[in-house]
Amino acid sequence: MEALKILIIEDDVLLGTELEEQLLEFGYTITERVRDSESAIIAFRRRLPDLVLCDIQLEDSELDGIDLVKVLNTIAKVPIIFLTAFGDAKTVARAKEVNPAYYLIKPCNSNQLQISLDFAIANFLNKHEAELEHSLKSQKEVAPSFQVDVDYFFLKDGHKYVRVKVEDILWVEALGANVKIITENSIFILSANLSSFSKQIPHDFLVRVHRSYTINIHRIESFYGNRIFIQKNDEQQAIPIGKTYRENFQKLFIKLASD
């Protein structure tokens, strides 16, 4: 689990410092704070952020914030929050061309900044989920075995979003209308069912083994009968294998035969 990494692009030194202090108080990590487009591109490549706060009007800069984001989008797609003192129709129209996750008019207070982060992450994830679903549907028509690798996702932990690596998941457990996501050091509750979770985070090593459990097969210590054992800290957790899932589960592993 990692705190959300944010790149700040702001030519006003005082405002940039205030933003950095607020974000650190929220529990986020700042990759860098830069003042111009050239430095921003270098910083973006050097340490890819999870989110970018970008001023639109960048003084003494080759590119303004909108043209800069066009360049950043060719490197990697991350949520963008535009910061600007200009809310005129022309600027907003130009900003919409690069599909920002949020548009924040400055000056802004801590509450407005936190709300913008919540909306930006939610908007970006909803857009990503829709694109993923469309991609899966399109690929299914021509290649039934198509698999999308999602290396990480974001979950809200208290007042901040944290980055969860898919490979760190031990198992996912149905919990009423929610699922419980268990990693080595954390437990998260997500408002979704197991089927919905699997569609959003498709991975060949996340396998449904029971109507109430999906496991990371890379984390299996052993299995016997209708039980799978996964190590969590100093204890082994027994996960049941459902009858309807047993045959497919057995096919996942190569077992050496004796002479």
For the stretch 170-205, pLDDT in tens is 999 998 788 899 998 888 888 888 888 888 787 888
Q: Is 113 exposed, middle or buried (0-12, 13-18, 19+ CB in 10 A)?
A: buried
Query: What pLDDT does residue 82 have?
Result: 93
Query: What pLDDT does residue 13 have?
Result: 92
Q: What is the pTM for the complete model shown? A: 0.61
pLDDT band at 250 (very low <50, low <70, confident <90, very high): confident
**pLDDT tens-place string over residues 11-27:** 999 999 999 999 998 88
Query: What pLDDT does residue 255 have?
Result: 59
For residues 240 and 259, give the distance between their C-alpha atoms in angstroms, rounded to a whole number: 31
Percent of the residues in the chain that have a pLDDT greater than 70, as a whole number: 86
Query: What pLDDT does residue 135 have?
Result: 46
Domains with residue ranges and CATH for the chain:
2-124 (3.40.50.2300), 152-250 (2.40.50.1020)
Query: Average pLDDT for residues 122-132, to the nearest whole number?
Result: 60
Q: Please give the C-alpha separations between residue 34 and each of 5, 30, 84, in angstroms, as whole numbers.
A: 14, 11, 16
**pLDDT tens-place string over residues 27-52:** 889 999 999 999 999 999 999 998 99
Across 159-194, b (16+ Cβ under 10 Å) vs e yields ebbbbbebebbbbbbbeeeebebbbeeeebebebeb
> Is the preceding omega at residue 107 within 30 degrees of 0, hence cis?
yes
Query: What pLDDT does residue 129 have?
Result: 54
